[in-house]
Structure 1
Amino acid sequence: MPREIVLDELQPGSEPLELEPEVAATLRDSGLVSVVPAHGGAWTILPAGRVGAVQIDDLLVRVKPKGKVGLSRLLFLLGYAADPGFRPEDVAAVEDGDLFAALGESLARHSERALERGPLHGYVQVEEALRTVRGRIRVGDQMTRRPGLLLPLEVAYDDYTVDVAENRILRAAVQLMMHVPRLSDTVRSRLSHLDSKLDNVSSLRYGTQLPAWAGSRLNEHYVPALRLSEIVLKTMSAEAGLGQRMVASFVVNMATVFEDFVATALKEALDPYPGVTEWQYEAFMDEAEPGFRGGERVRMYVDVVHSVRGQPTMIFDAKYKAASTGGTYPNADHYQMLAYCTALEVPRAWLVYAGRGNVRVRRVRNSDVSVAEFPLDLSQEPEALLLRVHELADRAYRSEFAVDAAAGA
C-alpha cells in the first residue's frame, strides 16, 4: 500500500517510522531530510533545510516550504534567479498536492507551447572526417591524425540542424520526466509525443554540464520551457537506488533559492539608480597588518552591495529563516550587519527576510549604524513580489541619498 509522509519545512520532528535500512539510506542520501535511528529499529525523519519530494518505490516523502509557497511560486523563484529568467506570466504551474504530477504537467504544457511551430533549427559547427571537401579543411588535424594521407579529410562546416542546445535541453528534461513515477497516463503520453518530435536531437547524458544558450528573437517562444527544463535537470533525478529500488527526487535548498532571487531582483530594481550593484561582494573586516598575508585576514561576503563611484553605499543581506513567536529575528544577524556597516563605512544595512511583517529599523546604540528589517512575503503573486523588491530599492536609495537628492533639486 502506498505511503505518504508530509512534513513542514520548519517542523521540529515527526513520529518514528519503520523503514527498511536500504530505504532509510536512500532517503538520507537524497538530501531532502535527515534520517536518524530511533528505538525498536524505527527511524525518525526530520526536515534538513530543503524542500521537495522523494519517491522510493511506494513511499513518498514531501517537505513543504514555509509560508504557503506553492509550486508556481517556487518555480518563479527558481527561474527568476537566472538573469532573470521566468517572468510572472511564465509560471502558471499546476498546483497539485503531488509535486511530481504537477511538474510533469507543467513541463508538458510549456514544451507543447515551445514546439507548436515545430522544433527550433539553427547552425551548429560540425567537425568530422569526410571523403569530400565541405566547409574548410582543418590542416593541423589532417597532418596530425593522417600524415601523408589525402583521404579522408578533416573538415569543419556549419550545419543547419535541429540538434541545437535548446532542443537538447528540452529533450533531456522530457526524457528524465518520463521516468518519474506518479505521472498520469495522459501526461506520460504527452511527454512521449514531445520526445518523438525531437527524435533527431541528440540526448544529453545525465549529470553532464548543460549546453549554453542565449535568449534571442528566434528562441523567445522557447524560453519558459527552457527555464523549466533547466530547473528539472538541475534539481530532479529518476534512477535506480540501493537494491535497484526506483527512486525519484526533486530537492531544492530554499535558502539558496531565496538569496539568488533577492540578488537578481535587487540588481534589476537598482539598475535605474546611479552606481553599480554587485552580488557576493568581497570585503575584509580587519585592517591589513604588516608582515601578514591577505589570506589571514577576516573575509566577508555581502549578499548585495550597491556602490557609487567605487564607494559602497547600500548593503543588503538575504536571510531565509523564521521569526520567533514575537516577530523578532536572531541577534546574530544584526551583529553581522553591524560588522558589514563598520567595515564598509555604510550607515545602514537592510536585512531581507522571507516572511510577513512590517519594516522595522533598529538604531545601534552609541553608533551611527542602523539595521533595517525588511520582510518579503513569498506567498505573494510574482508581480506583487517584484513590486515589493522595487519598494525595497527605492526605500534604500531614499534613505541613503535623500540629502544629495535634495541638494541637486
Structure 2
Amino acid sequence: MNLRHTRSHRCGDLARPIELKEGGGWTVRDLTPPQLATLADHPELLALHPENATRWRLKAKDRVGSVRLGSGEGTVQLTITPKVPVDRLLHLVAYAPDRVRFDPRPVTAEPRPDLLPALGHAFVSAAGHALSQGVLHDYRETYDTLPVVRGRIRHADQIRRRPGVPVPLEVVYDDHTPDIPENRLLLAAARRLLRVPSLDPGLRAALQRLTARLEGVTLLPSGARPPQWTPGRRNARYSHALVLAELVLRGGSYEFGDSRYLAVDGMLVVMWRLFEAYLARAVGEALRHRVGGRPEPQDRSHFLDAAGRHPLKPDLVHYLPSPHDGVQRPAAVVDAKFKTKPQRGDLYQMTAYCMRLGLGEGHLVYASGSEGVVEVPVGEGRLRLFRHVVDLSRPWRELAAAVEALAESVDAARTARAV
C-alpha cells in the first residue's frame, strides 16, 4: 500500500464520524472493542446499549458539538448536532462563552452550508459595530533607542550600554497605538476566516476590509495563544466581537485538512448550562437598561438555612435601591429551565427563592411549552410564580425581542406588586 493510498484511507476513516442529534432517538452503529472502550469512558456525552456483540445503540445526552475522543484504534470522532439552528447557538455563545468547553485536538467535519456563514457573518457584523467609532487605541509603554529624547531616558541602561556616549539614547515612552490585545484578536480571527476556501464573496470582501482597517496591528504568530483582554468601559463596544473572535480562534479553527474536509477544533456545549447563562445575562442586561439597578447572574450570596450551609442558586437576581434607605435589595428573581415540560419541583424551588429573598413573585423561563402563572398561598398573601417561554428556534432577532419582552414582563410584575 503506497503512502497516498494510506493517507486517503485514514482521511476516509476520520471523515465518517458518529453523528447523533440532540434530543434524538437511538442510533445503531458498529463499534470495535477499542472504540466501545473510548465511548464508555464518556458517559456524560451519550448512552450506550448493546444490540449484539458488535452493534450498539447510541443516544446523545445534553451536549452538542464535535470532538475527537481516544487515540489509535480507539479514536472516535463524535458529532452531536443541536436542535437549535447554528446562528441561534452562536447568539447564545456570544452571551455565555464560559459555558463552552473547547478540546484543543483537531477533528474533521464536513463543511456545512449554514455553519461557516453564520460564524463569519456574525463576526463581521460584530466587528463592524466595534469599529464604527474608530479603531480602539491605548497607551503602551515602549522601550526604544533614539537619537533624540522622547519620554524618559533610561539612565541605567544608557550607562550600562553606552558609558560616556551621548547618543543614541535609551528611552521609554508611552505610545498611543492600535497594537493592543483587542485589535490583535480581531485581526487574527479575520485572517483565520480568510484562509477558508469557498467563502461567500461578500463575506470575503468584508473580512478584507476589516483587516485593512486594522493597519498597524501585529498579527499573532501561528499557534500562538490568543491574547488576554479584560472587559471594561474602554472596550465595551468591542465585547461581542471579541467573544466571537475567541470562538473562531479557539473553537472554530477552520483549516483545510484535505481536499474535502475542514479541520476544526473540538467544541462541546452543554445546552442547559448555556441556556441558563444566556437567559441570566441577556435578561439582566435588559432589566439594567430598563430600570437600572444591578443584575447578578448565578447569584450565590443567599442561603436557604440560617447557618449558611445550603446556598440558593437562582440564575438571576436583580437588585434595585430601596426608596427608604437607598440600599440595593433583591427586586426580581429569574430561573431558566431547559426543559419541554414544567415540573412540580421547579415550583418548589422558586417558592424557596421568593420566600428567602422577600419577593412576591418569581419567574421561571422555559425553552419551550406554554406560559402561565401559579398562585401559591403563603400566610395571608399569595406568591405568583410566572412561567415564561423563550423559544430558541426563533430567528435571533426575534429571540432578542423575546428577551426584551420578558424583561418588560418581569418589571411589570414587580411594579404591580409595589402598587
Contact 2:63 2:269 in 1 (8 A): yes
Deviation track 1:85-125 (CA, whole Å, cap 9, x = no partner) reads xxxxxxxxxxx8456543564378559968999x9473441
Name the TM-score, length of structure 1 as normaliser. Answer: 0.68
Letter in 1 for 2:80: V
* RMSD of aligned residue pairs (Cα, Å): 4.8
**Which residue of the partner structure matches residue 76 of structure 1?**
91
Partner of 1:314: 332
Contact 1:54 1:247 in 2 (8 A): no
1:287 and 2:301 correspond: no
1:249 to 252, 266, 269: 266
Q: Secondary structure at the match of 1:306?
A: strand
Describe the shift of the 1:256–1:142 C-alpha distance in structure 2 as closer, same or farther (beyond 3 A): farther
Q: Matched residue pairs, number?
A: 364
The residue correspondences of 1:224-235 to structure 2 (distance < 5 A) are 225-235=241-251
Deviation of 1:352 after TM superposition, in Å, equals: 0.8
Q: Who is 1:173 aligned against?
A: 189
- Counterpart CA distance in 2 for 1:364 and 1:301 is 21
Measure the CA separation in 2 of the matches of 1:381 and 1:213.
28
Equivalent pair of 1:32/1:47 in contact (CA under 8 Å): no
Contact 2:88 2:393 (8 Å CA) reproduced: yes
Whether the 8 Å contact between 1:237 and 1:249 is mirrored in structure 2 is: no
Residue type of the partner of 2:218? V
Aligned residue number for residue 360 of structure 1: 372
Contact 1:169 1:211 in 2 (8 A): no
CA change 1:175–1:262 in 2 (3 A) is same
2:283, 2:130 → 1: CA distance? Answer: 33
Task: Show CA shifts across 1:281-317 (max 9, x none).
Answer: 22011114xxxxx5xx222232212234133232111
5 Å-filtered alignment, 1:34-49, equals 34=46, 40=53, 45-49=58-62
The residue that corresponds to 2:7 in the other structure is: none
Q: Is the 8 A contact 2:29 2:55 kept in 1?
A: yes
Cα separation, 2, equivalents of 1:47 and 1:373: 28
- Kindly indicate whether residue 79 of structure 2 is the aligned counterpart of residue 65 of structure 1: no
Provide closer, same or farther for how the CA distance between residues 33 and 158 of structure 1 changes in structure 2, counting only shifts above 3 A: same
2:7 equivalent to 1:7: no
The answer (yes or no) to whether the contact 1:278–1:305 under 8 Å persists in 2 is yes
* Residue aligned with 2:394, SS: coil
Alpha-carbon distance change, 363 to 186 in structure 1, aligned in 2, over 3 angstroms: closer
Q: Secondary structure at the match of 2:370?
A: coil
For residues 274 and 104 of structure 1, what CA distance do their matches in structure 2 show?
32
Partner of 2:310 in structure 1? 298
The yes-or-no answer on 1:347 pairing with 2:366 is: no
Q: Which amino acid aligns with 2:265?
A: A
**Could you tell me which residue of structure 2 aligns to residue 375 of structure 1?**
389
2:414 is aligned with 1:400: yes
Amino acid at match of 2:350: M
Match of 1:291 in 2: none
Q: Mapping of 1:44-193 within 5 angstroms? A: 45-54=58-67, 61-66=78-83, 69-80=84-95, 97-98=112-113, 100-102=115-117, 105-106=120-121, 110=125, 120=135, 122-128=137-143, 130=145, 133-137=149-153, 142=157, 155-174=171-190, 176-177=192-193, 184-186=197-199, 190=204
> What is the CA distance between 1:44 and its match in structure 2?
5.6
Q: CA offset at residue 381 of structure 1?
A: 3.0
Task: Report the alpha carbon displacement of residue 61 of structure 1 after superposing the two structures with TM.
Answer: 4.4
Residue identity (%)? 28
In 1, distance between residues paired with 2:185 and 2:232? 13
1:90 alignment partner in structure 2: none
Counterpart CA distance in 1 for 2:183 and 2:345 is 47
Structure 1, unpaired ranges of 5+: 83-95, 289-293
For 1:276 and 1:247, locate their aligned partners in 2 and report how far apart those are by CA, in whole Å. Answer: 39
- What is the match of residue 229 of structure 2? 211
Structure 2 length normalisation: TM-score?
0.67
Q: 1:130 to 1:45 in 2, by over 3 A?
A: farther
Report the Cα offset of residue 175 of structure 1. Answer: 5.2
Q: Relative to 1, partners in 2 of residues 1:397 and 1:22: Cα closer, same or farther, differing over 3 Å?
A: same
Q: What secondary structure, in the 3-state scheme, does the structure 1 residue paired with 2:332 have?
A: strand
Between 97-106 and 370-379, report the one with greater CA deviation. 97-106
Shift in Å, 1:376: 0.9
How far apart are residue 377 of structure 1 and its match? 0.8
Q: What is the letter of the counterpart of residue 172 of structure 2?
A: A
Q: Unaligned 5+ residue runs, structure 2?
A: 1-11, 98-110, 257-261, 323-327
